[in-house]
Amino acid sequence: MGFYRLSLSLGLMLACIAGAVWAAPQPLISEIRVGKHDDHTRFVIDVSQKIDFNVFTLADPYRVVIDFPEVGWRIDPAAAKSAVGLMKGYRYGLYRPGRSRMVVDLSGPATLANKFLLPPEGQRQYRLVLDLVPADRTTYLKTAGWPDAAALDTPSVLEDPPIADPAVEKPRNVKRVVVIDPGHGGVDPGATGVSGILEKDLVLSVGTALRDALEATGKYKVVMTRDTDIFLSLKARVAAGRRARADLFISLHADSAPGSRARGASVYTLSEKASDREAEALARAENQSDVIAGVDLTNESDIVTSILIDLAQRETKNSSVKFAQALVPELQHAGGVTQRSHRFAGFWVLKAPDVPSVLIELGYLSSDHDESEMRTRRWRANMSSAISRAVDSYFKQSRLEHKAEAGD
Ligand SMILES: [Zn+2]
């Protein structure tokens, strides 16, 4: 028996070592070249090994989506921004565990004339080649759309829990749940800063600092919607907040505005009618995340109606506003806020009917001043402790209010 167990664990160990030695390395995409030719635009993607790929086109806006197994990227992010031929630019990153995605924005309708993988040749490694030829919209629409496999492969969302009754207060000894939602991620980079930093990376670093600050108080259970560079649909973010039965949902973003004059942080809460045109435009831009990443939204339906929704929504809205009001002075103190520091708009990610939710635009990536601040560790520490203090004062206030209502 003893020998058997020993040989079994030895066998397992050997299997592990063999697995580690023989596991195929992750394919690496090392260069992307785009060339404008007389009648077509050619895309060449250098990849370190033979890979499967799946290409399809989507309309409104015109996009080509290329799905791979999970790959590493060693390419110059700046190249993704320059327009060549039919291509306006491209994005790339993790779409879900095990799958990477590249989305190419087109300047107009185009057909995919060729798609093939060339074997290594001399110094060259594998190359994935795509040729795009201009087409009219009718022709484009005939072939555009999600292939069946890709539609089935949409990041899954577990079933939503029933709407919580806002009148039921949590027992005092249960830790409050705070969900931190770093915006964008993976194939959706969000805004790009003046020096090239990406919104998705910045908000993830602030998010993890905030998690640490909240956990250090010992008072909260913290859930992150993402803690790596991965794409998440807006619906999955909302669902994560609801499934965690969050007491607060904090979505982190960084803004970008034409010109570089706008500076400071702003806090947004949900409203069907936006507080101003800028807020409305911002919500529209942030709501584009799923489109940017090429998520199939054809079968989306809203949360089922329930008699509790109205009631829960009103209560949730009030709580969201209270938290926003607690945030503004803290953010003002930590790094400055915009003139209209608390605004409203129809952000999709804030739509959970029973989770008080705010979206914080931490600052402007388009501002030299803000962006250079944002790159410092000191700024991230200041912002995360400011938000953490606001969380504290929000829960303190709501406890006092419940006490007053209960008359004890
Ligand atoms: Zn954003």
pLDDT per position as a tens digit, 63-111: 999 999 999 999 888 788 889 999 999 999 998 888 999 999 999 999 9
Pairing of strands 126-134, 110-118: antiparallel
The Å distance, Cα 350 to ligand 1 centre, comes to: 13
The amino acid present at 408, given as its one-letter code, is D
The Å distance, Cα 184 to ligand 1 centre, comes to: 6
Cα–Cα distances in angstroms (integers) from residue 390 to residues 132, 318, 366, in the given order:
51, 16, 26
Is the pLDDT at 296 greater than 80? The verdict is no
In a domain, 73, yes or no: yes
Half-sphere exposure of 105 (CA within 13 A, CB side): 17
The Å distance, Cα 362 to ligand 1 centre, comes to: 10
The CATH number covering residue 219 comes to: 3.40.630.40
The Å distance, Cα 326 to ligand 1 centre, comes to: 22
Task: For residue 11, give every residue at least 6 positions away whose Cβ sits within 8 Å of its Cβ, in sequence order, or none.
Answer: none
- Residue 44 and residue 82 in one domain: yes
Is the pLDDT at 2 greater than 70? The verdict is no
- Residue 96 and residue 193 in one domain: no
- Residue 128 and residue 39 in one domain: yes
In a domain, 9, yes or no: no
- Residue 57 and residue 130 in one domain: yes
The Å distance, Cα 115 to ligand 1 centre, comes to: 33
pLDDT of residue 303: 45
- Residue 257 and residue 397 in one domain: yes
- Residue 199 and residue 348 in one domain: yes
In a domain, 156, yes or no: no
Name the average pLDDT for the chain.
86
Confidence grade of residue 169 (pLDDT, cut at 50, 70, 90): low
In a domain, 242, yes or no: yes
Q: What is the average per-residue pLDDT within 335-355?
A: 89
Is the pLDDT at 206 greater than 70? The verdict is yes
- Residue 287 and residue 384 in one domain: yes
Is the pLDDT at 245 greater than 50? The verdict is yes
The Å distance, Cα 137 to ligand 1 centre, comes to: 30
The Å distance, Cα 288 to ligand 1 centre, comes to: 10
pLDDT of residue 19: 46
The Å distance, Cα 167 to ligand 1 centre, comes to: 33
* Closest C-alpha among 326, 342, 149, 357 to residue 237: 357
The Å distance, Cα 164 to ligand 1 centre, comes to: 28
Is the pLDDT at 214 greater than 90? The verdict is yes
Confidence grade of residue 399 (pLDDT, cut at 50, 70, 90): confident
pLDDT of residue 154: 54
Task: For residue 246, give every residue at least 6 positions away whose Cβ sits within 8 Å of its Cβ, in sequence order, or none.
Answer: 177, 178, 179, 223, 352, 355
In a domain, 259, yes or no: yes
In a domain, 282, yes or no: yes
The Å distance, Cα 199 to ligand 1 centre, comes to: 7
The Å distance, Cα 53 to ligand 1 centre, comes to: 29
Q: What is the average per-residue pLDDT within 320-327?
A: 96
pLDDT of residue 335: 84
The Å distance, Cα 63 to ligand 1 centre, comes to: 20
pLDDT of residue 301: 47
* DSSP-derived secondary structure letter, 177: E
In a domain, 157, yes or no: no
CB 265 within 8 A of CB 343: no
- Residue 115 and residue 191 in one domain: no
Q: What is the average per-residue pLDDT within 153-161?
A: 55
* Domain coverage including residue 133: 28-147
pLDDT of residue 18: 45
The Å distance, Cα 125 to ligand 1 centre, comes to: 36
The Å distance, Cα 225 to ligand 1 centre, comes to: 14
Residues 10-53: tens digit of each pLDDT: 444 544 444 444 556 889 999 999 999 999 999 999 999 999 99
- Residue 191 and residue 84 in one domain: no
pLDDT of residue 258: 77
The Å distance, Cα 366 to ligand 1 centre, comes to: 13
The Å distance, Cα 203 to ligand 1 centre, comes to: 9
Is the pLDDT at 112 greater than 70? The verdict is yes
Q: Per the structure, how many domains does the chain have?
A: 2
The Å distance, Cα 229 to ligand 1 centre, comes to: 14
Q: What is the average per-residue pLDDT within 183-195?
A: 93
The Å distance, Cα 253 to ligand 1 centre, comes to: 4
The Å distance, Cα 30 to ligand 1 centre, comes to: 27
In a domain, 40, yes or no: yes
The Å distance, Cα 360 to ligand 1 centre, comes to: 9
The CATH number covering residue 101 comes to: 2.60.40.3500
Among 103, 132, 147, residue at a domain's last position: 147
Rounded to whole angstroms, how far apart are CA atoms 176 and 77? 40
- Residue 384 and residue 323 in one domain: yes
Residue 112, burial from CB neighbour count under 10 angstroms (0-12, 13-18, 19+): middle
The Å distance, Cα 255 to ligand 1 centre, comes to: 6
Q: What percent of the chain has pLDDT over 90?
A: 59
- Residue 134 and residue 181 in one domain: no
The Å distance, Cα 277 to ligand 1 centre, comes to: 17
Among 96, 127, 147, residue at a domain's last position: 147
Lowest mean pLDDT among 17-21, 191-195, 229-233: 17-21
- Residue 225 and residue 316 in one domain: yes
